[in-house]
Amino acid sequence: MKVNHVVEGPADGEVVVLSGSIGSNLSMWDPQVEPLTSAGFRVVRYDHRGHGRTPVPETPCSLADLGGDVVELLDTLGVERAHVVGLSLGGMTAMWLGVNVPDRIGRLVLCCTSAKLGTPAMWEERAQLARTEGMPAIADSSIERWFTAEWRATHPQLSREYHHMTAATPAEGYAACCAAIGSMDLLGDLPKISAPTLVISGADDPATPPEEHGRPIAEAIPGARLEVVPHAAHLGNVEQAARFNDLIVEHLKADR
């Protein structure tokens, strides 16, 4: 599927693809664009299928579909090899790419993500909730996982904007990606990843807590390293943008 995307930064820069969370759109990466482009990277951000301005698929999707969308995007842009920074569902997509198309991938940064998250039944229930209760109800609970209570209290306007981001996501698009998460189990494949990998977890992330999710990924990917960022919930790239940016740029520029 052709995905909505935006390309920013120097035309001759190494390409970094940013892949986001379920219920988000490409603007969730706003805090990363300036730091990455001014470090010389060409930044490609996109909306997962059924999210933002990318069409809603007719059937539930798999991680292979979401990974395939990134490969198609790279082909469309004429990019042979890219670094991938993914958060949550975006991190799952990044791991799929590292396992299945290693020749297209430079370095990986896996943020606030998991190689196996919940059960198929749990994600089917979430998909049904999106359809029956509507996306504003999904946004009410998402926002509490995305940001700590302290951040929401001190950033009321931004909290409303991120709530709106999820509330405006089509229910069927959200449900399609719930299926991708429910059917995912990447743990056994992680040792196949050869891309130099940094795993970043938020210390206060209730959705993918570091010890349960980030650490097993870092232990399974050869040579990977885990960084746990304090005072960050699930969208740590927003709540602790400066720390995430430093870690991401440092990892993408290592050994150069």
Ligand X SMILES: O=C(O)CC1=CCC(=O)O1
- Looking at the Cβ atoms of 136 and 222, the one nearer to ligand X is 136
CB of 166 vs ligand X, minimal distance in Å: 8
- Looking at the Cβ atoms of 22 and 44, the one nearer to ligand X is 22
CB of 154 vs ligand X, minimal distance in Å: 21
d(CA 118, CA 181): 8
- Looking at the Cβ atoms of 169 and 249, the one nearer to ligand X is 169
CB of 135 vs ligand X, minimal distance in Å: 12
Nearest residue (beta carbon) to ligand X: 88
CB of 21 vs ligand X, minimal distance in Å: 4
Question: What six digits make up the tokens of 133?
Answer: 């209760």
Helix axes 135-146, 156-167, angle to 10 degrees: 140
> Site residues (CB under 6 A) for ligand X?
21-23, 88-89, 142, 145, 181, 207, 234
3-state secondary structure the chain: CCCCEEEECCCCCCEEEEECCCCCCHHHHHHHHHHHHHCCCEEEEECCCCCCCCCCCCCCCCHHHHHHHHHHHHHHHCCCCEEEEEECHHHHHHHHHHHHCHHHEEEEEEECCCCCCCCHHHHHHHHHHHHHHCHHHHHHHHHHHHCCHHHHHHCHHHHHHHHHHHHCCCHHHHHHHHHHHHCCCCHHHHHHCCCCEEEEEECCCCCCCHHHHHHHHHHHCCCCEEEEECCCCCCHHHHCHHHHHHHHHHHHHCCC
Q: What amino acid occupies position 66?
A: L
CB of 45 vs ligand X, minimal distance in Å: 15
- Looking at the Cβ atoms of 21 and 197, the one nearer to ligand X is 21
Question: What six digits make up the tokens of 51?
Answer: 């999210």
CB contact set of 2 (below 8 Å; sequence gap of 6+): 54, 72, 73, 76
CB of 217 vs ligand X, minimal distance in Å: 14
CB of 40 vs ligand X, minimal distance in Å: 29
- Looking at the Cβ atoms of 22 and 186, the one nearer to ligand X is 22
